[in-house]
Amino acid sequence: YKGNLTIGLFGDIAPMTVMNFYEITRGYQSKRGKYHYKGTIIHRVVRDFVIQMGDITNMDGTGGASIYGPSFNDEKFILSHRSPGWVSMANHGPDTNNSQFFILLTKARWLDRHHVVFGKVLKGFEVVTIVGEVPTHPDSSTPTKLIRILDCGAQKLDTPMTLKPSQLDIIADLV
């Protein structure tokens, strides 16, 4: 199966987080090598909760890097984990963001003020749904099948992305 996603980013709300994601999506050349999501895997699928990916160094959920160094600080926790399709930084405690991120499969407000929400799936939610149903190893939530990001890219918008209140919880394509 092959599918495509379009993720809208909220650069006015989480500028450092969005810049990190944007640059790695495009392919960022650092002193330590090229950082890119292309070729990485979805390393964790927790049914009815999250799909996690973005380990650009170890490809197994134990690594990651950022354009700012090994990690970077949390930004203000403005957006909420309010419904499926929201995109948020994965971390292992305060101020430990790197390249890893997750896409919600359900509302998860208990994550608010612990993980920075910076985007929303705007198109291709059927891909999220299919990946969210892939069988996993019960002890690790690692998919039993390899799920790879074959390609990715980024496009700057002339005007900031905004969502109407009626679009915040929609899980259908918005664009």
Instruction: Give the active site residues.
Output: 44, 49, 52, 91, 102, 111, 115
Q: How far apart are CA 60 and CA 71, in angstroms?
A: 17
Closest CA to 106 of 82, 136, 74, 77: 82
Q: How far apart are CA 42 and CA 167, in angstroms?
A: 27
Alpha helix locations (H) across the chain? Answer: 15-26, 125-132
Q: How far apart are CA 174 and CA 155, in angstroms?
A: 17
